[in-house]
């Protein structure tokens, strides 16, 4: 879709009802299946942080922290995180986060899924371009992942 140095936007029409896509987003265990994280024992609740172990091959040693911002059932799910935080030797906790927003809209028998991630211009300059590149590629893959996952039922 569109992007600038600060913003990544993607969208996809998922051939599944909005309630199904919402479950894939808002249930931590189910989210982890298609997203590539293990959120064992975690629940997504606005205002709380969750930790998920990355399950993508080569990154299993990493744990991602997400601060859940907003949950508006079957419409909006958002969180903050540290993009491209893949070096275990670096403490990213002092860096600004980006905001990830998923919005859902019914379109016929399917669901239009929009993803927008903003805040890259606040990432330290030495990491900014890589974090943007990694997440831009990542969101391409994740849109395909949620399409396949939600379509399974």
Query: In angstroms, rounded to a whole number, what is the distance separating the alpha carbons of residues 52 and 67?
Result: 11
Do the domain assignments include residue 15? yes
Confidence of residue 98 (pLDDT cuts 50, 70, 90): very high
3-class DSSP state for residue 73? coil
Segment 126-143, tens digit of pLDDT = 999 999 999 999 999 999
Asked if residue 2 is part of any domain, the answer here is no
Q: Is 42 domain-assigned?
A: yes
Say if 49 falls within a structural domain.
Answer: yes
pLDDT at 153 over 80: no
In the predicted model, is pLDDT for residue 2 greater than 90? Answer: no
Q: In terms of residue numbers, what domain contains 33?
A: 7-152
H-helix or E-strand containing 26?
helix 18-26
Instruction: Show the tokens assigned to 49.
Output: 């942080």
Q: Is residue 60 part of a domain?
A: yes
pLDDT in tens, 66-90: 999 999 999 999 999 999 999 989 9
Residue 96 lies in a domain: yes
C-alpha distance from residue 95 to each of 45, 71, 85 (Å)? 23, 24, 10
Number of domains forming the structure of the chain: 1
CATH code at position 129: 3.30.530.20
Residue 1 included in any domain:
no
């Amino acid at each position: 879709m569109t992007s600038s140095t600060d913003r990544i936007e993607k969208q996809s029409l998922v051939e599944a009802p909005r309630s199904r896509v919402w479950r894939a987003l808002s249930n931590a265990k189910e989210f982890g299946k298609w997203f590539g994280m293990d959120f064992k024992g975690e629940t997504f609740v606005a205002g709380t942080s969750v930790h998920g172990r990355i399950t993508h091959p080569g990154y299993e040693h990493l744990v991602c922290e997400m601060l859940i911002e907003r949950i508006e059932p079957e419409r909006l799910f958002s969180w903050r995180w540290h993009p491209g935080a893949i070096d275990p030797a670096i403490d990213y906790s002092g860096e600004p986060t980006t905001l990830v927003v998923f919005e859902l809209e019914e379109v016929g028998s399917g669901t239009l899924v929009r993803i927008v991630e903003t805040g890259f211009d606040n990432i330290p300059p030495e990491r900014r371009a890589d974090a943007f590149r990694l997440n831009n590629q990542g969101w391409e893959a994740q849109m395909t992942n949620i399409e396949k996952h939600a379509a399974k039922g």
